[in-house]
């Protein structure tokens, strides 16, 4: 941990930490990045019936302004590359909510050659919702859970990712091969 | 082209007659637009076998060495190539290629089936007839390892490079052992013989 980034653990901020947490909990912006079958569960969530905007949540076009990354279904190695890059573009603090059984253990794709079996090995997950697919009520429950965790300070995936970066990086390199960032990600984002 | 009442009756009669007359002879083609389409094509290409499956569906079986010739004749009526799908018949040691054609003018869907050996599977490309075949041939090449001679862009396409070498949709590709080597040992639910539930 170098000294060239702003730490939220500074003494001056400690006093306002409950206020920050409350504000973060009430203004979660989503990355509009849908993977797998759960993308089709998003429209009922954001439209009138389950309307997540009453929690201050909003689909957001840019990862630079986002807080919550929804992994909505199975993840292939090709998608995982994009997910990792998008996740690293997001500013701290950032949270991941994983839908369905596929990110947990592969789900129905347990013997598929092309589905990542345990997503937690590659990026940190804060809340996982079981089900195939979870109904919007279950997703709402997961959202409430992550709001509770943010308020209590338990949603520390971004901190775990920073502290155990070597381990996550090793797992990613095992799956994609050494130097995949230079090989693939540079083609999408030249400044990386 | 509208199907009149007469033609529908004819179709019913011919389908009823055919099995009674001769068991081994080919079933007579019905007098519908599909039947006439098959008949017209078979006159130009007598080496093929054709049949009407149902309304708007016709089917051809063509020997592999004459497939390009046949598709060139068929492309006069069938303006669109919709897909090239491959079936792996492991026990027979053959790949079955299905060229799915769509006739915009007649609105008829045709399956042109051909079989080639699994070892050193090679086919002539049909890019000169339908340019869109390039993508379908690349996909068939990546998943099954069929070489389409004349297609300039065969090579790694959608999958990771390590999967491209293995051709994962072939029936003799062992997905479970591949998953174990790539994603780790502790995620499978059955043992190797798929008899005991592990978790």
Domain boundaries, chain B: 32-158, 169-199
CB nearest A117 (choices: B158, B175, B183)? B183
Q: Cβ distance A120 to A133 under 8 Å?
A: no
192 residues of chain A, pLDDT tens digit each: 444 555 556 676 677 888 888 998 999 998 878 888 888 888 888 889 988 889 989 888 888 889 999 898 889 988 898 899 999 989 888 999 998 888 888 888 888 888 888 888 899 999 999 988 888 899 999 999 999 999 988 888 888 898 999 999 999 998 888 888 888 777 777 766
**Residue in A70, A73, A87 with CA at minimum distance from that of residue A122:** A87
Q: For residue A77, which residues of chain B lie inside 8 Å, CB to CB? A: 160
Residues B143/B166, Cβ–Cβ less than 8 Å: no
Q: Which residue of A has its CA nearest to B167?
A: A113
Q: Does A111 touch chain B (CB under 8 A)?
A: yes
- Which of helix, strand or coil describes residue B15? helix
What pTM was estimated for this model as a whole? 0.78
B194 phi-psi bin (left φ>0, alpha ψ -120 to 50, beta other): left
Instruction: Please tell me the distance from the alpha carbon of residue B96 to that of residue A63, in angstroms, as a whole number.
Output: 46
Distance from C-alpha of B100 to C-alpha of B93, rounded to nearest angstrom? 22
Best probe of the B interface among A78, A114, A177, by most B CBs < 10 A, is A114
Has residue B106 got a pLDDT over 70? Answer: yes
Average pLDDT for residues B118-136, to the nearest whole number? 90
Task: Produce one character per residue of A60-79: b if its CB has 16 or more CB atoms within 10 Å, e if not.
Answer: beebeebbbbbbbbbbbbeb
Q: Are A174 and A117 in contact (CB under 8 A)?
A: no
B62 with B46: CB under 8 angstroms? Answer: no
Q: Could you tell me the domains of chain A?
A: 28-188 (3.40.50.12280)
SS3 at position B104? coil
Q: Report the sign of the C-alpha dihedral through residues B29, B32, B35, B39, in that order.
A: positive
Q: Supply angle C-alpha B57, B70, B110, rounded to 5.
A: 10
End-to-end CA distance of chain A: 20
CB pairs under 8 A between A and B: 37
Mean pLDDT computed over every residue of chain B: 82
Give the pLDDT band of residue B100 (cuts 50, 70, 90): very high
For A:16-75, CB contacts with B below 8 A are none
Ranges of beta strands (E only) in chain B are: 49-54, 57-61, 80-89, 94-103, 108-117, 122-124, 147-149
Task: Give pairs for B152-160: CB < 8 Å, separation 24+.
Answer: B158/A78, B159/A114, B160/A77, B160/A78, B160/A176
For residue B101, count other CB atoms closer than 10 A to its CB. Answer: 22
By DSSP bridging, strand B147-149 and strand B122-124 are parallel
Cα–Cα distance for residue pair B88/B92, rounded to 1 Å: 9
**3-state class (DSSP) for residue A106:** coil
Look-up: residue for tokens 């009823």? Answer: B16
Helix (H) / strand (E) containing B10: helix B5-21
- The pLDDT, as a whole number, for residue B114 is 93
In the block, tokens 């069938």 appear at: B78
- Within 13 Å, how many C-alpha atoms sit on residue A56's CB side? 12
* Nearest residue in B to A103, CA atom: B187
Out of 3.40.190.10, 3.30.460.80, 3.40.50.300, 3.20.20.100, which CATH number does the structure's domain B32-158 have? 3.30.460.80
Q: Express each pLDDT in B43-63 by its tens digit.
A: 988 888 988 988 889 999 999
Q: Exposed/middle/buried for A171, CB within 10 Å: 0-12, 13-18, 19+?
A: middle
Looking only at the bridges linking them, the beta strands covering B108-117 and B94-103 are antiparallel
Find out whether A86 and A66 touch, Cβ atoms under 8 Å. Answer: no
**CB-count burial class (<10 Å; 0-12, 13-18, 19+) for A136:** middle
B153 pLDDT above the threshold of 50: yes
Contact between chains at B179 and A78 (C-beta distance less than 8 A): no
């Amino acid at each position: 941990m170098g000294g060239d980034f702003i730490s939220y653990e500074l003494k001056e901020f400690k006093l306002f930490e409950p206020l920050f947490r409350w504000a973060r909990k009430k203004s979660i912006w989503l990355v509009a990045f849908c993977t797998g079958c759960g993308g089709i569960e998003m429209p009922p969530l954001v439209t009138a019936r389950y309307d997540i905007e009453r929690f201050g949540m909003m689909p957001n076009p840019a990862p630079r302004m986002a807080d919550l990354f929804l992994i909505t279904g199975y993840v292939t190695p090709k998608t995982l590359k994009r997910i990792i890059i998008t996740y690293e573009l997001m500013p701290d603090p950032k949270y991941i909510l994983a839908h369905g059984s596929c990110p947990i253990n592969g789900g129905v794709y347990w013997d598929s050659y092309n589905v990542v079996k345990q997503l937690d090995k590659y990026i940190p997950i804060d809340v996982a919702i079981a089900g195939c697919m979870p109904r919007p009520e279950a997703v709402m429950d997961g959202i409430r859970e992550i709001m509770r965790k943010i308020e209590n300070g338990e949603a520390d995936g971004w901190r775990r990712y920073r502290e155990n970066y070597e381990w996550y990086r090793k797992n990613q390199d095992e799956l994609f091969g050494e130097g995949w960032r230079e090989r693939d990600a540079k083609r999408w984002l030249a400044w990386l | 082209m509208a199907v009149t009442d007469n033609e529908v009756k004819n179709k019913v009669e011919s389908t009823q007659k055919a099995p009674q007359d001769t068991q081994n002879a080919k079933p007579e083609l019905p007098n519908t637009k599909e039947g006439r389409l098959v008949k017209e094509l078979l006159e130009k290409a007598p080496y093929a076998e054709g049949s009407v499956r149902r309304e708007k569906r016709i089917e051809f079986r063509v020997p592999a060495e004459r497939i390009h010739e046949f598709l060139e004749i068929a492309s006069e009526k069938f303006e669109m190539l919709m897909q090239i799908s491959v079936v792996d018949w492991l026990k027979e040691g053959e790949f079955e290629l299905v060229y799915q054609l769509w006739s915009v003018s007649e609105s008829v869907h045709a399956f042109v089936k051909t079989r080639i050996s699994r070892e050193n599977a090679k086919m002539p490309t049909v890019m000169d007839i339908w340019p869109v075949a390039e993508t379908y041939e690349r996909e068939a090449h990546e998943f099954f390892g069929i070489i389409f001679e004349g297609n300039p862009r065969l090579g790694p396409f959608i999958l990771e490079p390590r999967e491209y070498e293995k051709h994962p949709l072939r029936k003799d590709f062992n997905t479970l052992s591949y998953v174990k080597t790539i994603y780790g040992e502790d995620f499978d639910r059955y043992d190797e013989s798929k008899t005991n539930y592990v978790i």
